[in-house]
Amino acid sequence: MKTFTVKVPAGIRQGEKIRIIGQGKAGKNGGKNGDLFIQINIEKGERFKLEGCNLYTYLNLSPWEAALGTRVAIKGIDGEEMVYVPNGTQSGERIKVQGKGYKDSKGGRR
């Protein structure tokens, strides 16, 4: 049995594959080895929900925080972030935090 260390690129998507050259099955009649492909399966997490490049998490607020607005710390993928919740926020409403989502194929965030 072989062990491999694989660098998983930031922003990889569900079902994408990582190719390791020359580490697959031996070739026929003494030919060179084929390639090994690793298919990515992204687990559903308890803290975040991933939809495209958007990450979602739940935030529990008191009724007066939602009615009056507040600043609250949330745990993001890069650490803690301060988020402004505007006054009049309704239950189930989404608040966008620019540039803190899942990385896209070019390594940037939206």
Burial track 25-38 (b if 16+ CB lie within 10 A, e otherwise): eeeeeeeeeeebee
CATH 3.60.9.10 fits 43-105, yes or no: no
Rounded distance, CA 89 to CA 76, Å? 20
Each residue's pLDDT tens digit, 39-98: 999 888 888 888 888 888 888 899 999 999 999 999 888 889 899 999 999 988 988 888
Residue 63, H or E segment: helix 63-68
In the chain, list all ranges with CATH 2.60.260.20.
Answer: 43-105
pTM for the predicted model, two decimal places: 0.66
